[in-house]
Structure 1
Amino acid sequence: MKKEDCFYLGKIVKKYSFKGEVLAKLDTDEPEVYENLDAIFLDLRNNLIPFFIESSQLHKSELLRIKFEEVDTEADADAIMKTDLYLPLNLLPKLEGNKFYFHEVIGFTIEDVNFGKVGTIKAINDSTAQALFEIDRDGLEILIPMNDEFIVKVDRNNKTIIVETPDGLIDLYLE
C-alpha cells in the first residue's frame, strides 16, 4: 500500500497499559467512525505496514485506545510510539454538497462569481490559521482562504469550485 492511496488518520501519542495498548489522537471530527477497525497502516521507516487490531474503543472522546495483535508488552508499544496512522482512501466516508476532502479537490478549477476563471488548485495549505487554496494561474500563485462564506458551490462532475471572494482579493495577485 502506498501513502498516496491512503489518508492520514492520526498518530499514536502514548502508551495506555503494560499490555501493549496505545492511545492514538485521530485527525477527525467524527472519531466514532473509526472505533471498530480491523486493521490500520502504521508508517514505520517510511513504509506502510498493516497492523491488525484486537480491540479498540474511544477514550475521553478524542483519543482511540487500541490493542494491536502481537503488540503485547510495553517494549512492543514503545517500538510504535509517535507513529502516524493511515487508512485506504476507499474507507473515507463520502462527502456531499459543499463539503470536501483536501486531497479530493486538487486539480479542480476555481471560478469566482465576479472575476471568472481564476485557475487550478495545485495544493491546500493548512499550515496557517485558516486553510488556503493554492491556485496556479498560468504560473502565478493565487491564495484564496477556504472560507465557507466564500464557497458558493462544489461541482464534482465538472471538477470546479465556484467561489465569491471579496472585491479586490484576486486582483492583489495580478498587479
Structure 2
Amino acid sequence: MEWYKVGKIVNTHGIWGEIRVISTTDFADERYEVGSELGLFKTDDAKPTIIVKVASHRKHKNFDLLTFEGYGLLKEVEGFRDAVLKVSEKYLTELEDNEFYYHEIIGCTVESTEGETIGTITEILQTGANDVWTVQPEKGKAHYIPYIEDVVKSVDIENKKIVIEVLDGLLS
C-alpha cells in the first residue's frame, strides 16, 4: 500500500495533546477531518510507526492543530515531534480536470513550449492565490513557476512531463 505525505509534525501546542502540523496538502480540511486515519511515520520506513485517528482539527496562524483519539495529554504526543503524517492511497479521491495531488507533480520534468528542458519540480509552495512550483535545473538556482493558465500549458502525469510558456522574466 502506498502512503502520501500530508504534513509534518513540528511541535506540540498547549498541554492537552495538540500537535502543530505544517501541511503539504491542498486538502487539509478533508485529510484532517474528525475520524480520518493517518499514518504517523517517525522514520523513512515503508509502513507507519502507528495509525492515528483525528479527534480535532483547527487552524492557528500557518499551522494545522490536531489532536488524536487516545492521546489527550502533552506527554503522550511529545514523541511525535518531527514525524511525518501520511494518508493511505485508499483515502485518495478522484480529482477534477486540471487538479493534481502534490505527489503527482513533484518529480515531473518541466519543458518550455519550444522543447527546452528547464528542470524538475522539487517542491510546491502555497501562496493563497495559486500554487507555485519550485523547478530545479541541473545547474544553477531554482525557478519558481506559478500554476496559472497563462504559464502551464500541459500536464502529463503518466509521463511525468509538464510544458510551460516561458513568459518574460519568469526564469531570471
TM-score bracket, normalised by the shorter chain, equals 0.5 to 0.7
1:100 corresponds in structure 2 to: 100
* Structure 1: stretches of 5+ with no match in the other structure: none
Backbone CA RMSD of aligned residues: 3.7
The alpha-carbon distance between structure 1 residues 107 and 65, as it changes in their structure 2 partners (threshold 3 A), is: closer
* Structure 2: stretches of 5+ with no match in the other structure: none
How many residue pairs match? The answer is: 159
> What is the 5 A alignment of 1:33-72?
33-34=30-31, 35-47=33-45, 48-53=48-53, 55-60=54-59, 63-69=64-70, 71-72=71-72
Instruction: Encode CA deviations 1:110-134: one digit per residue, 9 max, x unaligned.
Output: 3322xx222385442458x954222
Is 1:154 matched up with 2:155?
yes
Post-superposition shift, 1:22? 1.7
The alpha-carbon distance between structure 1 residues 158 and 14, as it changes in their structure 2 partners (threshold 3 A), is: closer
TM-score by length of 1: 0.63
Residue pair 2:39, 2:85 contacting (<8 A) in 1 also:
yes
> What is the 5 A alignment of 1:74-89?
74-89=74-89
TM-score by length of 2: 0.64
Residue pair 1:108, 1:120 contacting (<8 A) in 2 also:
no
- Between the aligned residues of both structures, percent identity stands at 18
Provide the C-alpha distance between the structure 2 equivalents of 1:120 and 1:166, rounded to a whole number of angstroms.
13
- Structure ID, larger Rg: 1
Instruction: Encode CA deviations 1:64-116: one digit per residue, 9 max, x unaligned.
Output: 431333x3543222222443322234534444444434431355443322xx2
Post-superposition shift, 1:154? 1.6
The alpha-carbon distance between structure 1 residues 86 and 117, as it changes in their structure 2 partners (threshold 3 A), is: same
